[in-house]
Amino acid sequence: MARVAVDVMLKSEILDPQGKAVERAADRLGYSTIASVRQGKRFELQIDGPVDAAALASIHELAESLLANTVIEDFTVRVEDN
Amino acid sequence: MSPRVGVVTFPGSLDDRDAQRAIRLAGAEPVALWHGTTDLSEVDAVVLPGGFSYGDYLRAGAIARFAPIMTSIIDAANDGMPVFGICNGFQVLCESHLLPGALTRNDHLHFICRDQKLRIENTTSAFTSGFNTNQEIVIPLKNGEGSYIADERTLDELEATGRIIARYIDGNPNGSRRDIAGITNEAGNVVGLMPHPEHAVEAGFGPSLDGLTFFTSVLSRLVNA
């Protein structure tokens, strides 16, 4: 079965408090070379049938309407396993 | 017959009963609306209450926005029906694109629960017409994701068109852009507010009776319609 990953990240200009909290914790643990952390979401979709142009278009539609809020987030769609 | 105001209950709504009580105290008849229905024929206005619909999964309001009743509410709102989103309800209205922008996590990361002073800046919307311009009120605020955000162009437009209904004063509690506590749509029938007026409607409960005016405002609009 085909697998498609949708990654959703807060836009760069939006404050990411969770990423900041992780960043501070990493620093406390001594990982001094980690300059910044951004936290996002990853959705893994199992797809019935081939991931063709129509399937990708419908995944984009889903990402735009439900998985991401494009006011504050960007998303990428990647076919992992076709 | 007094106007009927529906209050939607989503899985995870918390303040639906308080909203019903506020509507009753304002003199209207509250009507419980289940999220799975699409029928709004029994109501003249709708309140989307506070809480954690669908556990805030995905994003606050993101799943509720696709509940069956929201399709009807979006159509009705576009036809002019008064719709008031409080806290999680405000988040649902933004996710539905009935209101611009989004609500993100408080900039200091903490859930905040306190009595909050606001200045009412719009006295023409369906839910603020009973206030005086620049009236200062105190109502409870309780949220983790109350930081209002929109692009600069949208913020400028909201200010220029008088669509910021209320701003936080004496300190911004969550990092909201331009101290925004609530906004309305262009027509003034859809209003979103982060603090909770339904918790300030009865003597002895809450910091004031200031919240009642949001509900009496819509009542007078419905009676005079």
* Residue B133 pLDDT: 95
For helices B16-26 and B212-224, angle between their N-to-C axes, nearest 10 degrees: 60
* CA closest to B92 among chain A residues: A69
pLDDT, tens only, A3-25: 999 999 999 988 888 899 899 99
pLDDT at A82 > cutoff 80: no
Q: Model confidence over B101-147: pLDDT tens digits?
A: 999 989 888 999 999 999 999 999 999 999 999 999 999 999 999 99
Q: Residue B208 above 80 pLDDT?
A: yes
Give the residue from B219, B218, B190, B220 showing the smallest Cα distance to B92.
B190
Chain A residues touching residue B149 (CB < 8 angstroms): 14, 71-72
DSSP string over A9-57: EE-TTS--HHHHHHHHHHHHTT-TT------EEEEEEEESS---HHHHH
B196: annotated active-site residue: yes
Tokens representing B37 are 């229905």
CB contact under 8 A, B109 and A72: no
Is there a contact between B137 and B206 (Cβ–Cβ < 8 Å)? no
Q: What is the mean pLDDT of residues A45-54?
A: 93
Chain A from 53 to 82: CB within 8 A of any B CB: 66-67, 69, 71-72
> What would the 3-class secondary structure string for B68-99 be?
HHHHHHHHHHHCCCCEEEECHHHHHHHHCCCC
Q: What is the pLDDT of residue B199?
A: 97
Can you tell me the distance from the alpha carbon of A28 to that of A37, in angstroms, rounded to the nearest whole number?
14
Radius of gyration (C-alpha) of chain A in whole angstroms: 16
CATH of the domain at A31: 3.30.1280.10
Instruction: Give the Cα separation of B49 and A71 in Å (integer).
Output: 23
Could you tell me if A31 and B23 are in contact, meaning their C-beta atoms sit under 8 angstroms apart? no
Question: Per the CB < 8 Å rule, is B102 touching A69?
Answer: yes
Q: How confident is the model at residue B177 (pLDDT cuts 50, 70, 90)?
A: very high
- Residue tagged 């979103």 (tokens): B192
pLDDT at site A72: 94
Quick: pLDDT tens for B11-59.
999 999 999 999 999 999 999 999 999 999 999 999 999 999 999 999 9
Q: Please state the three-class secondary structure of B101-145 as a single string.
A: CEEECCCCCCCEEEEEEEEECCCCCCCCCCCCCCCEEEEEEEECC
Q: What is the pLDDT of residue B224?
A: 85
A30 Cβ contact list (under 8 Å, min separation 6): none
Q: Do A17 and B101 touch (CB under 8 A)?
A: no
| Length of chain B measured in residues | 225
Which amino acid is located at B51 in the chain?
A: G
How much of chain B, in percent, has pLDDT values that exceed 70? 100
Question: Is the Cβ pair A17, B59 closer than 8 Å?
Answer: no
How many domains does the structure of chain A reveal?
1
Q: Tell me the average pLDDT of chain B.
A: 96
Check whether B1 has a pLDDT greater than 80.
no
Cβ pairs A/B, distance under 8 A: 30
Taking the Cβ of residue A34 and every Cβ of chain B, the question of whether any pair is shorter than 8 Å is answered with no
Provide the 8-state DSSP code for B195.
Answer: S
Range of the domain at A54: 2-81
What pLDDT shows up at residue B92?
97
> What is the distance between the alpha carbons of residues B104 and B174, in angstroms, rounded to a whole number?
9
Sign for the pseudo-dihedral over CA of B56, B59, B65, B68: negative
**Which residues contact residue B205 at a Cβ distance below 8 angstroms, ignoring those fewer than 6 apart?**
B199
CATH superfamily for B4-224 is Class I glutamine amidotransferase (GATase) domain (3.40.50.880)
pTM of the predicted model as reported, rounded to 2 decimal places: 0.93
- What CA–CA distance (Å, rounded) separates B104 from A80? 30
ipTM of the complex: 0.83
Tell me the percentage of chain B whose pLDDT exceeds 90: 96
